[in-house]
Structures are given as C-alpha cells and as structure tokens.
C-alpha cells in the first residue's frame, strides 16, 4: 500500500500514490484554481506596455494568492503617495523563484504545458514594463502640475473677486448721501469753518459753543448724533446698576418666592414614580391619608396565624356556625 499523501488542491489525503494527479476530481480542481488566477495575470500582462500610475489609496494594498508559490503576493506596487497598478504582481511573475516554483507545480500536478507560459513574465517583458513605468510617472507629474496650476488660477480668481467686492463697498461708503447728510471728513471741515465764522455774529444771539471735532479727523466716515446720557440714572460705564439687575418696584418690597416649594417638588417627584407602576396593581386606589381603626384587618383567612391552611379553614367554618347559631337565637 502506498504511503499517505496530502493534495493541497483537493484538500484531502490519498493512498493511491502518483495516480491521484490523473483523477477526474484533481483535474477539475486544478483547472478551477488556474482559472481563478489567470484573469489577474492577464490584467497585469496588459500593464506591461502601458503602466498606470495613480495616487495611493488603501485599496491598493490588495493581495492575490500565487498558486504556484503557495503564498500571497501584493497586486500593486506602492511607494510613498504613488502606486503603480499591477506592479507587484509583475515583479513576482518575473522573479526566478516564481519560475522555479511554476516548473515544480506543473511537474507535480501534470498541468497542461501550453498554459505554463501564461503564468510567467520574461525578463524582456519586465524591462519593457520598467520603461513604460517611467513614462507613466512623467505623465502623472505633468497632470499633477496642470492640476496645481488650475487650483492656483482658481485661488487667484477668488482673491481678485474678493478684493473687488471690498473695494466696491469702500467706494459706496465714501460717496455722501444727500438725504442723510454728508459724513465725509471734508464735509466736517467745511462745517467747522462755518461754525468758526459765526464768531463774528452779535453776542446777544447766545449760540452754543462749537463741538470738538478732533476725533473726527481720523478719516472714518462717522456721524455725531450727540450725547445720550439720561440725567439722574447713569449707565454701566459710570458705575450704575445695569437695568437687567435692578429689582422691580412691585417685588422690591416683599420677599416673593419664585417657583414651587421644596415640599411641592417632593410630592411631584413621588407622583412621577407612581406613574411608572402598573395602574391595576393591588392598592393603587388606596387612600393613605384616610384614618383607620385598630380592627381593619380581615377576620377570616387566618393569614396572620401559624399553622396549615386546613386548620384555618376548619376554624373559619366553626366560627361561622357559631355566629349563625347566635343570630338564630336572637
């Protein structure tokens, strides 16, 4: 009897020696395993002439199972923030270790010889892939430069539009409004000259003194509306009590409590606890504030006595018979 051997494709132990690789089940499992790997190899072979370079994303960390080597291989080749699609698989297929493992796998499983070349990459093809990878890197850098230039142009355009808006607002504020009166510094200068010229008028007119306008010479278009102090009250800048902290006249005399008292709060809290209990429970409608006498306990059932239930039942029957006799004698 042949020694036991383990087939990784069929995942079973067989005792028929080398004849297992010719069985129908083994041939079917072998073909299915090669069909699963072949699409990935064909996609990597297409990247030999035109390598694609993209920005790195976590999805580029995918791995595929190499049937010949019996190990996982990185599908893409990543370095820093760039990823070369199918670069890792092509590098593995072109390695001499993969070629040796493929020859051994084909010999042990007696696979079709014509399919072996589909799972191998020659050194010439890998050199061609390196050249296309350099071209792909150059084209990727050119695209990135174009994107950066477009972003810079967009930023400059937004900044220019923002400056135009600010300039238009400043110009609109500098134009005097004939209805509200001019607030520009030049108009104040003209007003000052007119006020100073009134000093030549007769003294019996008793005109008010000219206001101090030095604070308006800063160039800001402000309008002076006069002092707004309320006599006798003051404001928060002069140390007076703010109006929202002053007590009302109607509540200043008495000490009125705001809100419910602590006892009312406890009663409401107890009601909220009772609402969570089932409404049909025993004693739900019992009035705890009612006065009860000392004989409120029931006079039957003997629930407060010691002993068995049948004793309470017989005792109850005896008392009932005695009570009936007394009522009949009366």
Residues 52-74, mean pLDDT to the nearest whole number:
87
**What is the pLDDT confidence band of residue 266, given thresholds at 50, 70 and 90?**
very high
**304 belongs to a structural domain:** no
Can you tell me the distance from the alpha carbon of 218 to that of 183, in angstroms, rounded to the nearest whole number?
12
Asked if residues 108 and 28 have their Cβ atoms less than 8 Å apart, the reply is no
Give a yes or no: residue 114 inside a domain: yes
The predicted pLDDT at position 168 comes to 86
The answer to the question of residue 286 being in a domain is no
Query: Does 72 reside within a domain?
Result: yes
Reading phi first (left if > 0) and then psi (alpha if -120 to 50, else beta), residue 307 is in left
For 89, 92, 145, the CA distances from 68, given in Å and listed in that order, are: 13, 11, 42
Residue 65 is assigned to a structural domain of this protein? yes
- Concatenating the DSSP letter of every residue in 167-233 gives HHHHHHHHSPBTTTB--SHHHHHHHHHHHHHGGGS-GGG-PPPPPP-GGGTTS---------PPTTT
pLDDT tens for 177-194 read 555 544 444 444 444 444
Q: Which helix (H) or strand (E) holds 135?
A: helix 123-174
In a domain, 302, yes or no: no
Q: What is the mean pLDDT of residues 114-136?
A: 88
- Asked whether residue 290 is domain-assigned, the answer is no
* Amino acid 207: pLDDT: 45
Q: How many folded domains does the chain comprise?
A: 1
Residue 104 lies in a domain: yes
More confident residue, 117 or 236: 117
Cα–Cα–Cα angle for 117, 122, 127, nearest 5°? 150
Domain housing 110: 37-143
Quick one: pLDDT at residue 97? 93
Pair of tokens at residue 107: 């010999």
Strand order in the sheet with 82-84: 53-55, 82-84, 77-79
100 pLDDT tier (thresholds 50, 70, 90): very high
Q: Which residues contact 57 (CB under 8 A, 6 or more apart)?
A: 83
**pLDDT at position 73 over 80:** yes
C-beta separation of 85 from 79 below 8 A: no
138: nearest Cα among 94, 92, 82, 88 = 82
> Rounded to an integer, what is the distance from CA 157 to the centroid of its chain?
33
């Amino acid at each position: 009897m042949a020694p036991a051997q383990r087939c990784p494709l069929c995942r079973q132990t067989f005792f028929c020696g080398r004849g297992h690789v010719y069985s129908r089940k083994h041939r079917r499992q072998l073909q299915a395993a090669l069909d699963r790997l072949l699409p990935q190899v064909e996609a990597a072979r297409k990247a030999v002439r035109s390598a694609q370079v993209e920005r790195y994303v976590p999805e580029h960390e995918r791995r595929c199972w190499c049937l010949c080597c019996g190990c996982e291989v990185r599908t893409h080749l990543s370095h820093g923030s760039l990823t070369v699609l199918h670069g890792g698989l092509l590098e593995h297929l072109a390695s001499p270790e993969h070629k040796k493992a493929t020859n051994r796998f084909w010999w042990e499983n007696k696979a079709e010889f014509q399919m072996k070349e589909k799972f191998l990459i020659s050194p010439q093809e890998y050199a061609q892939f390196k050249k296309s990878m350099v071209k792909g890197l150059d084209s990727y850098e050119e695209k990135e430069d174009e994107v950066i230039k477009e972003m810079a142009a967009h930023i400059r355009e937004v900044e220019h539009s923002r400056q135009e808006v600010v300039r238009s607002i400043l110009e609109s504020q500098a134009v005097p409004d004939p209805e509200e009166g001019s607030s520009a510094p030049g108009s104040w200068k003209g007003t000052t000259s007119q006020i100073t010229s009134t000093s030549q008028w007769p003294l019996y007119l008793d005109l008010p003194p000219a206001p101090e306008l030095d604070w308006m010479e800063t160039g800001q278009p402000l309008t002076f509306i006069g002092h707004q102090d309320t006599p006798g009250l003051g404001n928060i800048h002069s140390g007076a009590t703010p109006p929202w902290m002053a007590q009302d006249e109607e509540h200043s005399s008495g000490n009125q409590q705001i809100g419910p008292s602590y006892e009312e709060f406890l009663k409401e809290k107890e009601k909220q606890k009772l609402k969570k209990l089932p409404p049909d429970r025993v004693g739900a409608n019992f009035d705890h504030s009612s006065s009860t006498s000392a004989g409120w306990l029931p006079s039957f059932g003997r629930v407060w006595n010691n002993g068995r239930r049948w004793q309470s039942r017989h005792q109850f029957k005896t008392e009932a018979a005695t009570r009936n006799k007394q009522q009949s004698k009366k």
